[in-house]
Amino acid sequence: MQRDLFDEEHLLFRETVREFMIREVVPHHPQWEKDGVVPREVWKKAGELGMFGFSVPEEFGGAGITDFRYNAVIVEEIIRNAASGLGFSLHNDVMAPYVVDLTNDEQKQRWLPGFVSGELITAIAMSEPGAGSDLQGIRTTAVREGDHYVVNGQKTFITNGINADLVVVVAKTDPEAGARGTTLIIVERGMEGFARGRNLEKVGMKAQDTAELFFDHVRVPVANRLGPNDGEGFFQLMHNLPQERLSIAVAAVAAAEVVLEQTIEYCKTRQAFGRSIGSFQNTRFVLAELATETEIARHFVDKCILALNAGQLTAVDAAKAKWWTTELQTKVIDRCLQLHGGYGYMMEYPVAKAWLDSRVQTIYGGTTEIMKEIIGRSFGF
């Protein structure tokens, strides 16, 4: 079916992003995989091309455009070029709603120009060693002392954790108040008592800096709180999580499409028993199944993007998109690796890296099990 999600402006923007990827990312990504981090200069170059902060008002350097299709273009091009080290989607898709919609005028002046230029890299610190999907179980605290909070605690699995200049920390300001006791506070690079732990060694996404963060009596000005009051953090998170989950779904479908495309070409040329492996009925049936499911997923995700743009994407629909597409992604890539035979297990073949990078998709942003729980609760049981 014809994909009709994008207008001419998005297609032109895709060309810009694709050229940037070919020129500034693809030749260097293998080294970044070894280093475990992407150089900050790459972020600045992307910022110069207008790849960050589309929804940031023009007065702060952004485009003033609320259109997630631009975000989707970047995610798809990152996936197409196997550039899993770039934390751009975390910056654009996850962090933008916090730093654009929840900041006051003074905070916008301080942070948004750098957000757009790529000079201020962002991260969000939710997960803890003892609390992943259960956000109400976090133990990091922020105790009010005059015009400051004193933040204590530990976070882990934080994307952009090494590079981040601004970290939205999910902290308990009133541990006895349950969901109403959580507040979002921005901790800035260089604040005394704020330390980064290990750059965690992961199964895949080797170039993406994923770190532990430690907060030891960090004094953070109340002026760094997101929102006008304490206790609003949990509800702010719930409001913004659907966009994060949609971003993951966009990546999942793009990854399935790319690997499927590569595998079809491989099956045309790889010979077994005197003929191409694509000529065997089993190969054709497997590819037919994967192609059908991937295209169905594509159209559902595209519809979710339009719903988000219209302000109509529900938490339930985002959960459906997230769990279904990520489980499909792992299925497609695993079966495509099988069709590659022994070569599929070799890192010189793109399917091997895609297989490693894909495994976390069903975990972060809310596990498959949590997504199903969100959907199940909507039935009113």
Active site residue 244: yes
* End-to-end CA gap in the chain: 38
Q: How far apart are CA 266 and CA 211, in angstroms?
A: 37
Buried b / exposed e across 110-136, counting CB within 10 Å, b at 16+?
bbbbbbbbbebbbbbbbbbeebbbebe
- Kindly calculate the radius of gyration of the chain based on its CA atoms and give it in whole angstroms: 21
| Burial of 173 (C-beta count, 10 Å sphere; 0-12/13-18/19+) | buried
Taken in order 77, 79, 84, 90, is the CA torsion positive or negative?
positive
Buried b / exposed e across 274-288, counting CB within 10 Å, b at 16+?
eeebbeeeebeebbe
Q: Residue 318: what are its φ and ψ, rounded to 5°?
A: -65, -40
Q: How far apart are CA 108 and CA 82, in angstroms?
A: 33
Residue among 201, 244, 257, 373 flagged as catalytic: 244
Q: Are strands 166-172 and 122-125 parallel, antiparallel or unpaired?
A: parallel
Take residue 39 and report the two structure tokens written for it: 């150089």
Q: Which residues contact 79 (CB under 8 A, 6 or more apart)?
A: 251, 254, 255, 258
Q: How far apart are CA 182 and CA 235, in angstroms?
A: 9
Q: Which residues are catalytic?
A: 244
